[in-house]
Chains A and B, each alone.
Chain A
Amino acid sequence: MFNYAVSGLIYGGAYALVAVCLVVMFRMVRVLNFAQTAIGAIGAYVAIILSEHGWAYLPAALVGAAAGAGVAVICGSLMSAWFADAPTERRSTVAIAIFITLLTLGFRIAGSTPRVAPELFGGSTFRIFGVNVTWAGLAVVLAAIVLAFLVDVFLRGTRLGIRLRAQSERPQTAELLGVPSRWLAVGVWGVTGAITAVGLLVVTPSRGADFLSIGLLILPALAAASLGLFRSTWLAVVGGVGIGIITGMTEYWPEVKQYQDIIPLAVIVIVLMWTQRKEVWDAAR
């Protein structure tokens, strides 16, 4: 069973990475970005197609990341041009509409046949406690942890991070204080778009996935991010890795395995219901 748990690590790392991006988006640009994985999937697919054309892993991944960033910047510009002052709820609804649009667009271009992605480190593994672990799995978990750490330090300790937090809480006030809100926000979109693209690229080989199923990884990522109510990068990492490991463990029981995709959903419902149990009234006073 330990074997199965470890095999879930690579998914868990990817969920955690995307979940950290969701937290960053929620905290810095006030949007629960349903479109995160759809944006990332486009970048990952660009990388896959390039490697099919004989590109080496690193340049393909870099161009893929740039493509993810590009798509994200377009979405972010749209959001700040039209919905700068809209409440989080409406901005997130816009993200749902962007998700639908990008997913349909990507599905049309990429088709429904699963693609084989290049494997990071050639799929090589190492043994620990008698269990095979892929270097890629370890790398993506470490990447999630490092990202969570960097984001935490950045938001708390740097001038730019504090500016970003300020602009998220009160975009107009921040603008009055001379914070270039709009460009900062679009920048955050771009960076998270690039990171998500790389994260999804790493996880794709083991998923053997088509565009739609990569795009739908938004659900476990949302579940992971919900653990910290979309505000804590650390809990997002814990949530992502945890969901990955639990999902991996279900492989051990074939009859449970077929329902494994329900696990993250149960996490979402339980976490949100528990944390919000005292919220009897809405915010409108």
Chain B
Amino acid sequence: MRLADPRWIVRSLPVAVVVLVLLLIPPVFLSEFDQYNATTAAIFAIALLGLGVVTGRAALICLAQTAFMAVGAFVILWLNVHAPGMPFLIKLVIASLITVPIGVLVSLPALRLRGINLGVVTLAFSTALTVYLSVKGFPGAKQANFIERPDALMSEGSFYLFAAGAFIVVALIVTILGRTNIGSSWSALRESERATAALGRSAPIAKMTAFGVSALCGGVAGAIFAVQLGTAEPSGSLSPLGSLSLFALAIMVGSRFVEGALIGGALFAFMPTILKLLGLPQDIGDIFFGVGAILGLRRGFGAAEDIRDVLHRRRRKTAELGVAEPPVGYEPPSVPAPADGSAAALVVEGLTFSYGQVKALEDVSITVPHGSVVALIGPNGAGKSTFIDCVTGFNRSYSGSVSAAGSPIDGYSAHERAHHGVRRSFQQGRTIPDLSIEEYLRLGLSREQRRVATPDFIDDLLAFFSCPPRDTRVGDIDVGTRRLLEVAGAVAAQPELVLLDEPAAGLGGEESEEIARRIAEIPGRYGPSVLLVEHDMELVTAIAQHVVVLDFGRVIADGTPDVVLSDPKVVSAYLGEEVEV
């Protein structure tokens, strides 16, 4: 779904109206004290939006969100001391923007660390910053040189409206960015880094942008927080403990959604008031966030997902998924012949790769002629998937050479190879359940390719692979169809070659036949040649023009299907029979 898609705007309208009305309640109905709390709610809702990106969408554990807030607060207070004459808004913008490179810096460990290790390192960053700030203090804090609000924002009501406005701006930035390919790559990251790279997206860049956006949100929130208080202190809300409870809160409410962040911000700010009303001590709010997070983790999602799920289910009931309609009278663009008539789609020469002492591939040479389907078969452990990993750049420490369409691609990383005409699918099925079908397909396209991939082209592709209409969520379709969609995703970029790693694994007989028929037609209809790894011999003989057999990392046979499959060496490799060679 593109940004300008009227369906998205219409669908988002009710949420936007509700959010706007909610945001307008405080200045009209609340006391000055509660308006102050409402400002705090807006500020922490902004911080939660950032956590929603990095932890909610990209599933990277970040325990440093209040550290980003502290950076924003530090910069605006520093500017207040050293450049007192600078207009307020400019100070705010500078404070927010300076936090972005800090976020990117914190993301660097994330290029190698994952899961809970990343959580430990981000918590360490947060704590180290607090230690530093405890010693040095925030600028102006010790001299009681506090930052003053501009005249127009002196009253609590007007300052609240300013903070709410900032929330709306940040929410729009995050939402719009979330709908672009940058946002889709965050969702892809959550699923698998390899799948992200296979779609031609750099996983490191996806991580850096996620952290950068998260830090931006933290910076905005921290700067406004400092203005609200007039100063800042390293303990309390901005401490590492604050980071942990904000993290718990983000899980509890599902802060990747705007309404989730808003609920979270309100809970954070009004918890003491609520507890007071209930006659409970006011400092036990974090207990609720901790317990709420545990409950959220148990169910796998937070409050905002609950609300969306109810709406979503109702919508889905009315419309069964069905299959995409082929556009009337549309033919995919004719497949151009290769410039040099002889250039093969893929030439691999002398490929050797070892896992430590074990040679997984030894001197493997395979050619996939332009416009053909070649099958790569062999018993389990023969090195087929390793071969695909080498060709697509996931294993790069091989010797030998790999060329696509006549030019060598050995120097390229996995996502660069995807852009140089080599696409792949994964044995386990690696579509991105979080995205709509169209977002998934477009994520794999470069800017030029997106221009060529018209809506008609995408509809034609989906109809050809019997996939549901393009606004269906990938998570809603069955596993068999997801495998077809993954193949469609690889084909959509119209690469030189698609490598399909057991596309029919785990599928029933009928589905296998269906997928085989489609694969056989890919070169003629859309252009890419196919290298197919498959165990299903019927499927292989039905669609491959050429078969290569690997055993213990070596090519043991190479030729047309009937010749190869009757080769005694091949029979022996599969059945373990002793034969004279």
Q: Are A104 and B119 in contact (CB under 8 A)?
A: no
Are B120 and A222 in contact, with the CB atoms below 8 A?
Answer: yes
Across the interface, which residues of A come within 8 angstroms of B286, CB to CB? Answer: 100-101, 103-104
Known: A100-B248, A273-B109. A262 touches B131 (CB 8 A): yes
Q: How far is the CB of A81 from chain B (nearest CB, A)?
A: 10
Chain B residues in 8 Å Cβ range of A135: none
B322 in the interface (beta carbon within 8 A) = no
The answer on a CB contact under 8 Å between B245 and A100 is: yes
A51 to B240, CA, bound (A): 32
Interface centre among B115, B191, B203, B289 (most CB of A within 10 A): B115
Are A281 and B128 closer than 8 Å at their CB atoms? no
Expressed in whole angstroms, the Cα–Cα distance for A78 and B294 within the complex equals: 10
| Contact partners of A226 in chain B: CB under 8 A | 120
Expressed in whole angstroms, the Cα–Cα distance for A103 and B241 within the complex equals: 10
Q: Which B residues from 119 to 153 make CB contacts under 8 A with A?
A: 119-121, 123-125, 127-128, 131-132, 135
* CA of A96 to CA of B122, assembled, Å: 13
In the assembled complex, how far is the CB of residue A100 from the closest CB belonging to chain B, in whole angstroms?
Answer: 4
Least CB distance, B118 to chain A, in whole angstroms: 9
Contact residues of B between 458 and 481, Cβ < 8 Å to A: none
Indicate if the CB atoms of A93 and B251 lie closer than 8 Å.
yes
Q: Output the nearest chain B residue to A267 by Cβ-Cβ distance.
A: B124
Is there contact, CB below 8 Å, between A284 and B191? yes
Contact B283 A108 (CB under 8 A): yes
**CB-based contact A88/B131 at 8 Å:** no
A266 to B132, CA, bound (A): 13
Question: With the chains together, A90 CA to B284 CA distance in Å?
Answer: 24
Cβ-closest chain A residue relative to B195: A284
Task: State in angstroms the CA–CA spacing of A272 and B135 once bound together.
Answer: 27
Bound-state Cα–Cα, A155 to B114, Å: 27
In Å, the complex CA distance between A220 and B116 comes to 16
| A276 with B283: CB separation less than 8 A | no
Q: Which of B289-310 contact A (CB under 8 A)?
A: 289-291, 293-294, 297-298
A258: interface (CB < 8 Å): yes
Is B426 close to A, CB under 8 A? yes
| Contact pick for B290, options A97, A108, A266, A276, CB 8 Å | A97
Q: Does A107 contact B (CB under 8 A)?
A: yes
Give the most central of B244, B287, B294: most A CB within 10 Å: B294
Which residues of B sit under 8 angstroms from A82, Cβ to Cβ?
A: 294, 298
B194 at interface by CB-CB < 8 Å:
yes
Residues of B within 8 A of A285 (CB): 192, 194, 426-428
Chain B residue with the shortest CB-CB distance to A279 = B112
- CB-based contact A89/B127 at 8 Å: no
* Contact indicator A269/B121 (Cβ below 8 Å): yes
The complex places the Cα of A283 from the Cα of B117 at a distance, in Å, of 14
Q: Does A184 contact B (CB under 8 A)?
A: no
Q: A95-113: contact bitstring with B at CB < 8 Å (1 yes, 0 no)? A: 0111111111101100000
Q: Is the CB of B115 within 8 A of A88?
A: yes
Q: A268 CA to B109 CA in the complex, in Å?
A: 11
| Known contacts A104-B287, A104-B290, A285-B428; A96/B247 CB under 8 A | yes
Cβ contact within 8 Å between A276 and B117: yes
Q: Which residues of B contact A262 (CB under 8 A)?
A: 127-128, 131-132
B123 touches A219 (CB 8 A): yes
A217 lies within 8 A of chain B by Cβ: no
Give 1 or 0 for each of A209-231: 1 = CB within 8 Å of chain B CB. Answer: 00010001001001100100000
> Contact between A100 and B244 (Cβ–Cβ < 8 Å)?
yes
* Contacting pair A269 B131 (CB below 8 A): no
Q: Are B121 and A272 in contact (CB under 8 A)?
A: yes
Residue of B nearest to A108 (CB): B284
Near B by CB (< 8 A), chain A positions 254-285 give 258-259, 261-262, 265-266, 268-269, 272-273, 276-285
Q: In the assembled complex, how far is the CB of residue A110 from the closest CB belonging to chain B, in whole angstroms?
A: 12
Complexed CA–CA distance, A5 and B193 (Å) = 45
A186, B183: Cα distance in complex, Å: 41
From B116, B293, B426, A92 is in contact (CB under 8 Å) with B116
**Interchain Cβ contacts under 8 Å between A and B, 9 examples:** A94-B293, A101-B290, A101-B291, A107-B283, A258-B135, A259-B135, A280-B112, A281-B394, A285-B427
The 5 A-B pairs at the shortest CB distance, nearest first, are namely: A101-B290, A284-B192, A265-B124, A97-B293, A104-B286
Known: A94-B297, A282-B194. 18 other contacts (CB 8 A): A89-B61, A100-B241, A100-B286, A100-B287, A103-B286, A104-B287, A105-B284, A108-B281, A261-B131, A265-B127, A268-B124, A269-B124, A273-B113, A276-B117, A281-B193, A283-B114, A284-B191, A285-B428
The chain A residues found within 8 Å of chain B, CB to CB, are 32, 78, 82-83, 86, 88-90, 92-94, 96-105, 107-108, 212, 216, 219, 222-223, 226, 258-259, 261-262, 265-266, 268-269, 272-273, 276-285
Task: Please report B residues at the A interface, Cβ cutoff 8 Å.
Answer: 61, 63, 109, 112-117, 119-121, 123-125, 127-128, 131-132, 135, 191-195, 203, 241, 244-245, 247-248, 251, 281, 283-287, 289-291, 293-294, 297-298, 394, 426-428, 430
